[in-house]
Structure 1
Amino acid sequence: MALLENLVLVFVAGLVTALATGVGALPFFFFDEISDRRNVVLWGLSSGIMVSASLFGLVEEGLAEGTPLQLGIGMAAGVLLVVVAHNVLVDAEIDPQEYEEADFKKLVLILGILTVHSFPEGIAIGVSFADLGLEGGMQFLGFTIPLLAVFMTVAISIHNVPEGTAISIPLKSMNVSNWKMVWWAVFSSLPQPIGAVLAFGFVRIAREFLPYGFGFAAGAMIYLVLTEFVPEALDLGSELPNGGKPELAAGIVVGVLVMVPLAFI
C-alpha cells in the first residue's frame, strides 16, 4: 500500500507540472498575441530555470550518489534520447511562428515534438523523488518529501509555462478556442506524470542506477536548452535590436536568480 501511495504522489507531482503548461495559454484569454520581445524573455527564463535545476539539482545529487563516470554515462544517454527522438520525428524543429498557417498534420507534428521533449522532464521528477519517505525531507500530507523533489517540481512547473505559450501561438492563429488551447498545452506535457512514475519505480527497485538516472535527466534537459530553447529564442528575436540577445540574457539571468536560492533551502 505504501508503494502505491508513493506512486500516486509522484504521479500527482508530474501532473502538476503538466497542468502548469496550460498556464502558458492563459494570456490569450486577454491578449490576441504576445510580442516577440516577451517571447524571447520567456524562453530565456525557461532556459535559465532548466540549466539551474539540472546543475544545482540533478548533477549535484548525481555526484553525491555516484561517480562522475556514472553521471557522465547517464548524461550521454539522455542526450542520445533527444537526438533519436528528433530523428524519429524527421528532425523537425519547434518553430511556432513558422507554422502559424500550418495544416492539421503539421500541427500534430509540432505537438508530437513538444510531447517527446516533455518526457525527460518527467524522468527528472521521478528520480528526484528517489529518497521519498527517508529522513531529511519536508513533511507534507503524511509524506516525507525530498527537498530535491520540491525543487524540481517547482522548476519544471515554471519552465512549462513558456512551452504552453509556444504551443498556443499557432493554435491561436488557427482560431482554436481558448480552452482548447489550454487543453492542447496540457496534453503536450501529459508524458511527464507517466515518465515520473516509471523513473521513480525504476530507481526505487534498482537504486544502484540512481546516479545514471540523475545524469540521464540532466543531460536531456541541458541538451534541449542548448539545441532548442536558445536557438528558438534567437530566431524569435532576429528582428529585434541586437537580435534579441539582451532579452534572452535577461531572461536567463532571472531564471537562474529565481532557482538558485531554492537549491540551497
Structure 2
Amino acid sequence: MNEFATMLVVTTVAGAITGVGAIPVFVRATVSHRTYDAALGLAAGIMIAASVFGLILPGIEQGTLVAVMSGVFLGGFVLLGGNRLIPHLHARYVGWRREGGQWGWERGTAAGGDGSMESNGPAESSETEDPAIASRARRALLIGTAIVLHNAPEGLAMGVAFASGLEDVALLLAVVIGLQNVPDGFAFAVPFGETGLSNGRVLVYTTLSGLLPQVSAAVVGFYLVSFATGIFPIAAGFAAGAMMAVVFREMIPSSHGHGYADAATAAFLVGFALLVVVDELLVV
C-alpha cells in the first residue's frame, strides 16, 4: 500500500475504536468515576507527550522554532474558537456545562450525581413531543457535537505525520488516539443510550463520531502537507496545539472533581512516561 492508503486504514481503525467505548452501555456495566478519571488522565498524558515528541520536536527538526510555535498557537486558538462558536455540552465535575454559540434555551441547572442536565426547555417545542425524551436527545446531540469537534485535531495530526514520511510517529499517534477514543466513545454512548435508541444504532453513531471527523481531518492534513512544500512544521505545530488545547480545556477538567484527582494525575504521569519510553524504543 502507498502512504495515503496506509493512512486511510490506520485512521479508520483508530477512529472506529471509539465504538468500543459503547460496550459498557450495552451490558449495563457501571464504570466507576475512579476508572473513568484515570482513563482520561492516562490518555491526556499520552496525548501531551505525543504532541511534544511526535509533532513539535520533529517539526523543529524539519523547520524553524518560529514556524512550529506559530502553528501551536494557531491550532490552540482555533480549537478554543470552535468551542466558543459551536453549541455543545462538556462534562464538568458532577454535571454538564453548556458552551458555544447561541443556545436558544433558557438557563437550566446542572443536576447532581447522575451527571444529567435539566433545562427549562427550548424556546420552541412541539406539544406532541415528550419533554423528557426531547431533553435527553438534545443533551446527547450536544455532547456528541463536543466529541466530534475534538476528534478532528487528532485526525489532522495523523495525516500530517503520514504525509511527512514519519510513519513511526503516525503509528504511535494512532495507538495514542485509539486509546483516547475509548473513553470518548463511552461519554458519547451513555447519553445516546438514554434516548431510547437501539444498541445497534448507538454503536453505529458512537463509531461514526470518531471515524468520520478523524478520517476527514487526516485526509485534509495529508494533502495539505503533500501539496504545500515546507508546511510540515506549521501543520505539526497546529495539530499539537489543538491536541494540547483539548487536553487542558476538556480532558483534565473532566477527570477532576469526582474525588479522584490523584488517580487521574498519577495516570497522566504514567501515560506521559509510557509514550516517552515507546518513542525512544521506536527511535532505537
TM-score calculated relative to the size of structure 1: 0.85
For 1:187, the equivalent position in structure 2 comes to 208
Q: Secondary structure at the match of 2:260?
A: helix
Instruction: From 252, 257, 261, give the equivalent of 2:268.
Output: 252
1:54–1:218: 8 Å Cα contact kept in structure 2?
A: yes
- The alpha carbon displacement at 1:203 in A equals 0.3
Query: Number of residues paired by the alignment?
Result: 244
Instruction: From 139, 145, 164, give the equivalent of 1:106.
Output: 139
| 1:103-252 pair list within 5 angstroms | 103-132=136-165, 146-189=167-210, 190-235=212-257, 237=258, 243-252=259-268
1:11–1:194: 8 Å Cα contact kept in structure 2?
A: no
CA distance in 1, matches of 2:16, 2:89: 25
- The alpha carbon displacement at 1:21 in A equals 0.8
Deviations 1:1-55 (A, max 9, x none): x8xx433322222111111111111233434321111111111111111111111
- The alpha carbon displacement at 1:92 in A equals 4.3
For 1:77, the equivalent position in structure 2 comes to 74
Q: Secondary structure at the match of 1:129?
A: helix
- The alpha carbon displacement at 1:91 in A equals 6.6
| 1:20-35 pair list within 5 angstroms | 20-35=17-32
Deviations 1:66-123 (A, max 9, x none): 1111111101111122112112224743456334974322321211121111110110
CA distance in 1, matches of 2:71, 2:242: 9
Identity among equivalent positions (%) equals 30
CA distance in 1, matches of 2:222, 2:228: 10
Q: Which of 18-27 and 249-258 deviates more?
A: 249-258
Deviations 1:192-215 (A, max 9, x none): 011111111110111211100110
Distance 1:125 1:30, change over 3 A: same
Instruction: Looking at secondary structure, tell me which structure has more helix per residue.
Output: 1
Larger radius of gyration: 2
For 2:50, the equivalent position in structure 1 comes to 53
Which ranges in structure 2 are unaligned for 5 or more consecutive residues?
97-114, 119-131
For 1:135, the equivalent position in structure 2 comes to none
Deviations 1:169-224 (A, max 9, x none): 22334444333332222121111011111111110111211100110000000111
CA distance in 2, matches of 1:104, 1:20: 24
CA distance in 2, matches of 1:9, 1:29: 32
2:88–2:145: 8 Å Cα contact kept in structure 1?
A: no
Q: Secondary structure at the match of 2:116?
A: helix
CA distance in 1, matches of 2:10, 2:20: 16
Q: Secondary structure at the match of 1:223?
A: helix
Amino acid at match of 2:82: A
For 1:63, the equivalent position in structure 2 comes to 60
Does 2:273 match 1:263? no
Which ranges in structure 1 are unaligned for 5 or more consecutive residues?
133-144, 238-242
1:99–1:170: 8 Å Cα contact kept in structure 2?
A: no
